[in-house]
Structure formats: structure tokens, C-alpha cells
């Protein structure tokens, strides 16, 4: 029997192709876990993660990583701006690569008692494999406690 192929979610793909450049918040449902955050371009995701790590431990090695990432981002942008007929086959593949991950910043996830972790405004930087998403809804989830 043939293995079931997952049907692409074209609306979610469109949001991912925007690269987070349109400032969307999203709530994802992944194998029973609820994750809510802001869709972010991969370059912004890595930059934010590196800057936050530098703030935590002052790692000098991460500065080199951030510089290399910026150079790769500039090269990707240069290739993206080329007309398709001027790109090499490898460049076409790189630009047309599927969006395998959803990059979220300021993300929170829900735990058993219904609360969101981490608490407070500052969330986590989270990458979620796109094919692992069972369902999604636009907007950020929030939790209000009932008086009781």
C-alpha cells in the first residue's frame, strides 16, 4: 500500500513565502502542543537568536556566526533579485526551496494546566517543522484565568 502523502497547505505556504515580512502572529497545533508566536524570516530568526545568546553569555564565537549569516542573507537576496533566466540551476533550486520550517519569535507554548510558558511578554525563538503542523489559526493565543 502506498504511503499517504501529505497535501500541502497552500495558505500556510503563502504566509511562509512572505518570510514573516507581513508581521503575522500565528497559533500552531503540533502533536497536541499549542505554540503561539510571530512568523519571522529565517534571517531575522537567526539574528534574534544570536543576539539574545550574546546577551546571555557574551559568546564571541557567535559574532562570527552572525556575520556569516548576514553575508549569506545578502547573497540570497542578490540571487532572489536576479531574473530567473540569469540564475544558474543551483541558484534556481536555492530560491525555490520549499519552506520546511516555520520560524517563530516571541513564542509561547501551552502546558497541561493551560498556562503559557514562558510567562510574561518575552517568549522563545522556536523553529517548527512545517509538515508536523496538524492545524493552525491566525493570531496569538492568550490565556485568561477565570475567577473562581
pLDDT tens per residue across all 148 residues of the chain: 445 455 567 777 777 766 555 678 999 999 989 999 998 877 777 777 777 666 555 555 666 776 777 777 778 778 878 888 898 888 877 776 656 788 888 899 988 888 888 866 788 888 898 889 999 998 988 866 545 5
Provide the pLDDT for residue 137: 92
In a domain, 148, yes or no: no
> CA-to-CA distance for 66 and 79, rounded, in angstroms?
20
In a domain, 110, yes or no: yes
pTM: 0.68
Provide the pLDDT for residue 8: 60
In a domain, 83, yes or no: yes
In a domain, 5, yes or no: no
In a domain, 39, yes or no: yes
In a domain, 46, yes or no: yes
Question: Cα dist. 23→48, 84, 88, 126 in Å?
Answer: 15, 27, 32, 16
Provide the pLDDT for residue 26: 92
> CA-to-CA distance for 27 and 35, rounded, in angstroms?
6
In a domain, 97, yes or no: yes
Provide the pLDDT for residue 98: 59
In a domain, 132, yes or no: yes
93 three-state secondary structure: helix
Q: Please state the domain count of the chain.
A: 1
| Domain that residue 96 falls in | 10-138
Amino acid at each position: 500500500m502506498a504511503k499517504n502523502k501529505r497535501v500541502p497547505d497552500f495558505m500556510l505556504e503563502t504566509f511562509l513565502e512572505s518570510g514573516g515580512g507581513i508581521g503575522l502572529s500565528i497559533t500552531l497545533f503540533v502533536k497536541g502542543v499549542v505554540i503561539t508566536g510571530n512568523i519571522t524570516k529565517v534571517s531575522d530568526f537567526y539574528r534574534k537568536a544570536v543576539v539574545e545568546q550574546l546577551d546571555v553569555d557574551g559568546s564571541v564565537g557567535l559574532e562570527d556566526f552572525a556575520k556569516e549569516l548576514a553575508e549569506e542573507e545578502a547573497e540570497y537576496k542578490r540571487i532572489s533579485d536576479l531574473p530567473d533566466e540569469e540564475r544558474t540551476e543551483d541558484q534556481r533550486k536555492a530560491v525555490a526551496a520549499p519552506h520546511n520550517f516555520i520560524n517563530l519569535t516571541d513564542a509561547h507554548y501551552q502546558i497541561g494546566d493551560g498556562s503559557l510558558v514562558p510567562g510574561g511578554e518575552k517568549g522563545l525563538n522556536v523553529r517548527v517543522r512545517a509538515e508536523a503542523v496538524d492545524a493552525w489559526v491566525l493570531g496569538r493565543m492568550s490565556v485568561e484565568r477565570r475567577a473562581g
